[in-house]
Structure 1
Amino acid sequence: MIMNASLFCRFTALILLTCLPNHLSGQEPSNRREPVEFDRTPTVWSWELPKEVVDETAIFDASFSSDGQLVAIGDSLGRIMIRRLDNIEPLHTLNDEHNVPIRHVRFINNDRLLATLDLDGKLVIWNVDEGSKLTELTADGKLQALAVGKDTTQLVGLSDQPALCRWSVNPNSEIMAGESVPLDQPYRLLSASENSDVLMLAGDNDWQQRRWPSLDVHAKGSSNGPNISALRASPSGNRFALGRQDGEVLVYDVRSGKQEFRWRKHPTAVTCLTFSQSGSTLLSGCLRDRIRMWDLATGEHVNDRDVGLPLVTVLQLSKDDQKLCVAGMGHDINVFGVQVPSERFIPAIRRPKASNDKAVFAVRFLLGTDEIAVVPKFGTMERLDLDAMLVSRCTEIVPGNDRLKLAAISPDGMLTAHAYQSGNVRVIDSVQSKVVWEFKHPPSADAIAFSPDSKQLAIAGGHGSTIQLRNLDDGSLLWSDITAGQSLRGICFATDGQSVFTGGHKLDAENRHLGVLTHWSADNGNEISKAQSKDIYASVAISPHATRCVTGGVSGRICVFDQDLQRLRMFDVGGRGGIHRLKLIDERRLLVATYKGSLLMVDVETGQELARFEPLPENRQMPFRSIDYHPKNNLIVAAGGYDNRETMRVYYLDETVKK
C-alpha cells in the first residue's frame, strides 16, 4: 500500500487520540506456556478491505466475543463489522450510524449486544444476532472511552465533563442508566479488568484506580514524561500497563501502585496493549509494523514480530489465549493462531555483545573449547567465554579506511577472512593478529567461505560474478571462473572439501529473475551440475553428510535439492525482506535467518516449522549475518544487527526440538 505523508500524519493523530540458563547447571529449561509466539501467517482468519478504501482505512478497535467465535471491528470510516471466524462472509456490516472513526467496540450482556463509540462521542447499542440498532445512549458531555464490567452487564463511559457515566443491562437486554460519578480532573483512557472489579483511568500523565460497583478511588499516581498514549488493566486486575508517546512501556502493581517494569523498546508511540489471561505476558504495539511480547515473571522482552501492517492500532487476545487479532493502517485485519503451549518458541539464554558494541559479521563455536569466536565491525577479533559470555580475548587488527562488508571464521578458529568494500580480501591469523594474505576481488566480494580443513578460501561476487579459490598455505590462486550473466550471492564448500556450491541469480529472456545453484569441482573449477528456479538465491547450505543442499532467497522460499541438484521440494518460510543465512545442523533440521532479524528451524523433508527463536530487536532491518551450531552442547549462536544495538543471541535446544 502506498500512502502519502499527509494521510499518514492524519491517521497518526487519530490513533493517538484513541489510544543463567538452567542447562548449564544440569537442568533443562521448562517449556514456556504463555502466548509469546504466533503462526507466521494468519491461520485463523484474514480479511482484506475493499480496494476502493484501502488507502483511506485504518482499523481503530476490535473485540472478541467471550467464546472467541465472533470478532467486532470498527474502522476510520465509521463502519462496524461483526464477523464469525469460521465464515469468510461478514455476519453483519453496520454503516448507518457512525460517520467518523470508531473509537471503541465492546461486546456486552454475554455477547448478545455490541456497544460502539465514535470520535464524536456517539454511543450506539446493537443487537448482535439481528445486526440492528437497539438504542443510542447519551451522557453528560462528550464520551471519550468505554469499559465493560466483569459480568458484561455493566457499561461505563468516560466523558469530558469530566465524569464517569454508567449503564446496566437487565435480563431483557434493556439498558438502564445509572448515576454519573464526577472526576477531579479530565482523563482520556479507560480500561477494566475482565475478571475483577478494577477500573483504570489515565490522562496525559496521571492515572487513577477505581473499583466496581461504587467506582470509588482506591489509588492514583502520575507518570512523569511524555504523554500516556495507551492503557490496559490485566484480566485478573493485579497489574496495569501504560504506553507512552516516546515508545516506553510501564507496568504497575495494582495493590501497591508501584512501578514494576519500565522498558523503552518501541521506536514510536505505543498505540495498544493486551495481557494474557494469567497476566504474566504483555503484548504491545506502536506506529510501526511490529508487536512486542514481554515476560512479566522476569521483566524481559522475549519476542517481537513483524505482522505485515504499516502500523498497529489494535491488539486483542481471545479469552482462551488461542487467538490474537492484529489490525491497524492497512488493508488486512489478521487473526493469528497463538502457540499455547509454546514449546516451539525458544528464548535466548544469553545476549552478548562485542567489546566495541559494534555490529557482528561472523561467529563460530570453537569446538573443544568453551569459547565463541566473534568478528565485529571495526578492528577487532574476539573470543567470548561460553559460560560467562564475556570477552576472554580481544585482538586488534588494522582495517585501514576500508568498510567491512563480509567476514568468515575458519573451522579451526585460527584464521579469519575479511572482505571489504574496496575489493580487498584479507586473511588474518587470529592468534598473532597479522595479515597472512591479501587478495583482490574487484569491485568487491559478495560471499566468502573456508574449506572444512581451513586450507582454502572461496570468494565469489564482484564484476562479472567471478569465483576464486585460494590456497591458504601459499596464497596461490588455484582456479578462477567468471559466471557470465550471473550475480553470485552465496557460496559454501561440500563437507568433504572436494567441491563448491554457489547460489545467485540471472535474468531470463523476459527479464525475470532466475535463481541459479551451481556445483563446481574444487580441484579444477569445472561445472559439475546446475539447477534453476524463479527466485534470487541469497544463501546456500549443505547438510553434514552432503545428502541435501538448500537455497533461500528474496522470496522467502526454501528449495531443497539432493546431491545431484535434483529439486526435491520447495516451501515458503516467510520473513519480510527474504532469507539472509541458512545452516543445516543435520540432514533434516535447517536454521533460517531473515533480513528482519528472525530465526527459525524447519524440517527440510516436510517443510514443518520446528522452532522459532527470539529475534533481534527491530531497528529498520536487523539481519542475522552468521549462524553456528554446537552439536555437543545443543547451542546455537546467531549474530548480526547494527552498531550500539543487541547483536548476538545464544539459544539452547531443549528436548522438544533437538531430536
Structure 2
Amino acid sequence: MHRGPITSVLSTQHDQIVYTGGYDRCIYQWNRATGEGTFIGSHEHIINSLSLSENGKYLASASSDYTIQLYDTGTNTRIRTLFGHADDVEAVAFAKQDTLLVSVSRDRRCLVWDIETGAILREFHGHSKDVLAVWIHGDKAYTTGDDGYVLVWLYETGEIVGEIGPFDYELDTISGSNQKEVFALGRDDGTVIIYDAATLQEKKIIKAHLQGVKRVNFSPSGNYLLTAGYDHLIKLWNYETGDLVDTLLPHKYQWERSLVWTEDEKSILGASFGKTYCEWSIEKGKVISDEIEMATPSINDIALTDAGDIITASDDGKFRKNGIEIAKSTGVLTNGVAVARDGSYYAWGDHASQVHIVHESLQQMVSFDLNTGPVNSVYFHEEDRQFYIGTYGGYVHVISTEHLKEIGRSKAHDCAVKALKVEGDLIITAAVEGTICLLDKKSLSLKAEYIGATELLNDVFIDSKRDRIAIVSRDKNVRLFDLHTGRILDQHNEHQYSIKSVTVTDSGYIVSGDYWGYIVVWNPELDVNTGPIRIAQNGISAIRQLGNDVYASSYDGGIYHVREDGTHTEVLRLFEQFPKEVISH
C-alpha cells in the first residue's frame, strides 16, 4: 500500500485493474475485486499523474523528478525512462494510435515523444508560464497552465491552431469528450465552461461549486460530467441539460486531485491521502468500505511551544503532541497547525474547511465550519490571543480564544492564501499568484500589496527584530523585503528545487527548506550560506523556530532539529515512508 497521498488513479481492463501513483514516489497496480495491491515501480520524487495508452498496453508516469517512465502493462516492467524536461512533469497523454506521447511541464515546455524509440520529436514553447494539463483530440493537443491560456496545437508540427484566454487565473484542469467533441475548463470562481472542440465556441456554463474547481472529467460516454471543487464536494452533471444529477457524499480521505469514471459509469475512483484509492458507488452516492483507515501520518505542518513540545498536522488528521494523539479528530487531513507558546490552546485546520481548537486545561474542543475552501495556514498571535487562518478560497479568518468564536473574515486574495503571519497591527499574507498583502489587523482592510515572487509563493516569515519579511517560492529564490516599504533588501538562489518553507532565528539566520528535502542556512549580514544539505527523504513541509533552534518537518514522517551551522538530528518520527525494499528498487 501507499505511504503517502495518492495523486493519480486510472481504471483499465473492464474496470478489473486500477493503477495509482503518489507522493511516496511509488506506482501500484490493484485488483479491484480483492483490493490487493502490487508494487510495480518508483520515481525519485512525487508522481504527478499517470496515463494509459488507448490499447491498454502502456502506462506512462509523470514525476517531479523531471522524468517520465513508460511501463509494459502486460508484464509490469519498465520499458524506459524519458529524460528531457528541466522541471516537474505535470501530465502526459498518448496520441496518434499510441505511437506518440505528449508531456507538459513546469519548465513551460510541451514535448512530443516517440513511444518506440523514446526520442523527442518536437518541443512546443507556446506557453509563457508553467504548463499543467493536456487533453488530446484527434491530431491536436489542448494544453493549459499558469498563463491562463488554453492553447490548441498540432502535436506533429507544433503549429498553434487556436487559443482561448487569457483568463485572470491559472488553468490547472481540462477534460474532454471525444464522443461529444467538447472539452471543459474549471474556473477559480467555481464555474465550469464547456467549449466546442472544433470551433472553440462556448457552449454552456455550469455554476458548479462555491469555491474554485479542482477537477473536471467527462464520463466515457460523454453523457455525464464530474466536477470537484475546493468546497470539498464532488458533483455529477448531465452534460446535455447541465442539470445536477447527484452530489457524492464526501469521504474524509478524499483528495480531489484525481477522479475518474469506471468504464461502466457505475463508480468513481479517486485519489486519497494515503494507502489506497477511494471508490464511490454512483447508485449509492457514497464511498464503498469507508470504514477503512487509509491515510498515513505524513507531516504537513508543525508548531512549537516554549516548553519544546512539537504539535503536528498530518494526512491522517490526528491531533498529536510529541507524536501522541491528544484529542479525538474527524480524521480529515490537517494542513495547518498553530499553538499558544504556553501550550494553552491548539488549533488545526483541515481539508474540509474546518478549524478545530483544543483548550489544554479543559480538554475541550470546538470546531468551526469556515466554508471558504481547505485551510492552508493557521497562526496564533500571542498579544491578542487569537488564531488567524488562511484558506484556499483566498480568505483570512480570525477566531478569538476568549469567546471561542469567529470574530472576523476578509477576502484577501483572489486565489489561495498559502501562508500568513501577524506582526503588531498587521496581518501579512502570501498567495499562490506571488503577491504579498498587508492587512489592518482590526478592520481586515488592505493597507498595501506588492509582488513578492515571479511564481507560486509558499511561505512567509516576519523578522520583527529587523523589520523585514522573508519569503520563499517556486522560483527557487529566498528573498528579504522591508516590512514597511516592500522594497527588496537581499536574496539568494542556492536551492536547486522549489522552496516550501522558511523561518528566521533570533540571531538572524534564515533557514529554508525545499520539496526535495534540502535546507539552506543563510546569514545575510555576513553573506554566508550553508547548504543545500539534504536532511529528509521527502520534501520539507514546514520550518519553525524556537529561539535559535529550528525544527523542520517532512512529508516522510520525520521531524528534524536544525542548528545554525547546518548540522541536524532527527527528533521525532511518526512513520517510515520509504521501506528499504522500495528505496533499493
> Normalised by the shorter chain, which TM-score bucket?
0.3 to 0.5
Q: Identify, as 1 or 2, the structure richer in strand.
A: 2
TM-score (norm 1): 0.39
Structure exhibiting the larger radius of gyration computed from Cα positions: 1
TM-score (norm 2): 0.44
